[in-house]
Amino acid sequence: MYATQALTHLVPLAEELDKNKVTPGVLGFIVFAALAVGVWLLMKSMNRHMGKVDFEESPEETDAAGAAEVVGSAKRK
Alpha-carbon distance of 2 to 13, in angstroms, equals: 18
Dihedrals phi, psi of 68, to nearest 5 degrees = -65, -40
Rounded to a whole number, what is the distance in angstroms from the first to the last CA of the chain?
62
Residues 7-53 have pLDDT tens digits of 566 556 556 667 788 788 899 999 999 999 999 999 999 999 999 98
Residue 6 one-letter amino acid: A
Q: Amino acid identity of 77?
A: K
Q: Which pTM value belongs to this model?
A: 0.46
Residue 1 has pLDDT above 60, yes or no: no
